[in-house]
A and B are shown apart, each in its own frame.
Chain A
Amino acid sequence: MASASTKDSKIAVNYWDPLRDTDSEVLSATASTRIRRDLMTIFKDPPPGLFVVGDESDIRYVHAIIVGVMDTPYEGGFFYFILKCPSDYPIVPPKVKFMTTDAGRVRFNPNLYKNGKVCLSILGTWTGPAWSPAQQISTVLLSIQSLMNEKPYFNEPGYEKERWPGDVERYNEILRHETLRVAVCGMLENECHLIIPEQLKEIMETTFLQFYDLYMETSKNKIDLDGKSYTDPFGAGAVVTFEYAKILERLETIRGNLAKKHAIPVDLPLTDGEGSDEKDDNDE
Chain B
Amino acid sequence: MKLTIKNWTGVATWKWVANDDNCGICRMAFDGCCPDCKLPGDDCPLVWGQCSHCFHMHCIVKWLQSQPVNQQCPMCRQEWKFNNK
- Determine if B52 is an interface residue (Cβ-Cβ < 8 Å): no
- Determine if B47 is an interface residue (Cβ-Cβ < 8 Å): no
Within 8 A of B (CB), among A148-162: none
Contact of B24 with A134 in the complex, beta carbons under 8 Å: yes
Contact of A37 with B27 in the complex, beta carbons under 8 Å: yes
Size of the B side of the interface (Cβ < 8 Å), in residues, is 16
- Determine if A253 is an interface residue (Cβ-Cβ < 8 Å): no
Interface of chain A, main secondary structure: loop
Size of the A side of the interface (Cβ < 8 Å), in residues, is 17
Contact of B74 with A34 in the complex, beta carbons under 8 Å: no
Quote the shortest CB–CB distance from A92 to chain B (angstroms). 7
Residues of A within 8 A of B72 (CB): 132
Residues of A within 8 A of B75 (CB): 132, 134
Contact of B74 with A132 in the complex, beta carbons under 8 Å: yes
Residues of A within 8 A of B34 (CB): 30
Considering the complex, give the chain B residue whose CB is closest to the CB of A29. B35
Within 8 A of A (CB), among B28-72: 28, 34-36, 59, 62-63, 66, 72
Residues of B within 8 A of A38 (CB): 27
- Determine if A271 is an interface residue (Cβ-Cβ < 8 Å): no
- Determine if B77 is an interface residue (Cβ-Cβ < 8 Å): yes
Contact of B25 with A33 in the complex, beta carbons under 8 Å: no
Contact of A133 with B35 in the complex, beta carbons under 8 Å: no
Proximity bits, B1-41, A CB within 8 Å = 1, else 0: 00000000000000000000000111110000011100000
CA–CA, A282 and B72, complex, Å: 40
CA–CA, A133 and B67, complex, Å: 12
- Determine if A28 is an interface residue (Cβ-Cβ < 8 Å): yes
Proximity bits, A106-139, B CB within 8 Å = 1, else 0: 0000000000000000000000010011101000
- Determine if A76 is an interface residue (Cβ-Cβ < 8 Å): no
* A29-B36, A132-B72 known; A34-B63 Cβ under 8 A: no
* A91-B66, A92-B66, A133-B63 known; A30-B26 Cβ under 8 A: yes
